[in-house]
Amino acid sequence: MTKRIRRILAISLLILLLVFLIARCVPEKELDLASKITPVQWISEDELLIRLDNEYFLYDPNGNLIPSKFDAAGGGIENPLGIQVAPRSSNQICSEEVHSGEIHLRTDQYVEINGDKHRVRKPWLRGRFVGFNQGFPKGEYLDFYTYLHMGKVGLVTFANASVQKIELPLQNDDNLSSPVLKRDSVTGQFFAFQTMCLRDDPDGTCTRTAWWLDADLQVLSSFLLPNDDPLFVKEKLACFSCGCGCYTQEDVYVVNGEAFFLYSGFPLPTSQRGLYRVADVGEGRTEWVHEIKGRIEPPLAFSPSGCKVAYFRVSRFGDSLQFRNLCQ
């Protein structure tokens, strides 16, 4: 190799290294919330309700914005019809203080089922689900009580005067974190998954069981979510204060018999962010399919068929409302 070629290669490597270092030092583009087009819900397969600077518009197939009188007051997720998720009387859930010697550790809640005390709790919806320092909207999940009893977890319902439990079989008995539910409005089924990883999971991995349930909450299948964790990022100075978990967020959408996980927030690399689908590869194994890559700001909106998804993409080349047909 001649000296000239070696010199050219050395200069090229130095330039690439300089570009890499500059890219790491350039702060992430700030999002102008006043110009963010937030997809709210689809009115039909071709018409989308969006919010822009606290005003609502209909977004038609031609990209026209038509003012809407949509009223967001009183919004929120509704509980499934025919399923009683809240106690009908105050004595259905009791409290019990837990002590160690003279130290008061905590106050547990429990229900009695067939004469046995079952500790009940609401799922932990902080941690992975709330990017505090990003101002992301918080995802909505069904407001079930869950139980932990004798190394088993599940759901609790309150039919008439009785308390009933639905056991969710675990694929890993070491993870006893509470499940949380989303309803598929297309199929009427439910998708449940654990909210926390194992404490001793190696970096970049997350061991969690998930379930598909029918409309009556009967278990159809149980499986492990993909083991690699798109939400993982090594702690760094950019996450100063409460750590990188205060900046990143996991949101879950369930449509048309598919479960989608959206990963957002700096300092996740742009290549790591975006919308992932849980793909069944057989024999109880699953893997991620990275359907939409890049900086996608929550929330998303899926069309009534579950095929189309609307999302707001942030890019140094220009922010825009975009669409993808996931059924093609």
pLDDT tens for 112-138 read 998 899 999 998 887 788 766 566 788
Cβ proximity of 208 and 196 under 8 Å: yes
What local confidence, expressed as pLDDT, does residue 21 receive?
44
Neighbouring C-beta atoms of residue 38, cutoff 10 Å? 22
pLDDT tens digits, residue range 9-66?
777 777 766 544 444 445 677 888 788 999 999 999 999 999 998 899 999 888 899 9
Extract the tokens encoding 192: 């449940």
What local confidence, expressed as pLDDT, does residue 74 receive?
53
* Residue 190 lies inside a defined structural domain of this protein: yes
* Residue 120 lies inside a defined structural domain of this protein: yes
Number of domains in the chain: 1
Cis check for the bond before 299: say yes or no (omega within 30 of 0).
yes
What local confidence, expressed as pLDDT, does residue 25 receive?
46
* Residue 121 lies inside a defined structural domain of this protein: yes
Query: First and final CA of the chain: distance in angstroms?
Result: 50
Average pLDDT over residues 1-5: 70
Average pLDDT over residues 76-88: 73
Query: Looking at the DSSP assignment, which residues form a beta bridge with residue 167?
Result: 154
**Nearest one of 141, 111, 114 to 125, comparing CA atoms:** 141
Lowest pLDDT segment from 7-11, 92-96, 204-208: 7-11
Cβ proximity of 314 and 289 under 8 Å: no
* φ, ψ (nearest 5 deg) of residue 4: -65, -45
What local confidence, expressed as pLDDT, does residue 72 receive?
67
| 1 confidence band (pLDDT: 50, 70, 90) | low
* Residue 207 lies inside a defined structural domain of this protein: yes
What DSSP designation does 228 have?
A: B
b vs e for 282-296, b when ≥16 Cβ sit within 10 Å of the residue's Cβ?
A: eeeebebeebbeebb
What local confidence, expressed as pLDDT, does residue 8 receive?
72
What local confidence, expressed as pLDDT, does residue 75 receive?
53
**Between 140 and 322, the higher pLDDT residue:** 322
pTM assigned to the model: 0.87
* Residue 12 lies inside a defined structural domain of this protein: no
| 328 confidence band (pLDDT: 50, 70, 90) | confident
CB under 8 Å to 24, separation ≥6 — which residues? none
Question: Domain span at residue 230?
Answer: 83-239
pLDDT at 234 over 60: yes
State the chain's mean pLDDT as an integer. 87
Average pLDDT over residues 220-243: 87
- Torsion angle in degrees (nearest 10) through CA of 208, 212, 218, 221: -80
* Residue 183 lies inside a defined structural domain of this protein: yes
The CB-side HSE value for 178 (13 A sphere, CA atoms) comes to: 19
Listing DSSP states for 166-206 in one string gives: EE---SSTT--PPEEEEE-TTT--EEEEESS--TTPPTTB-
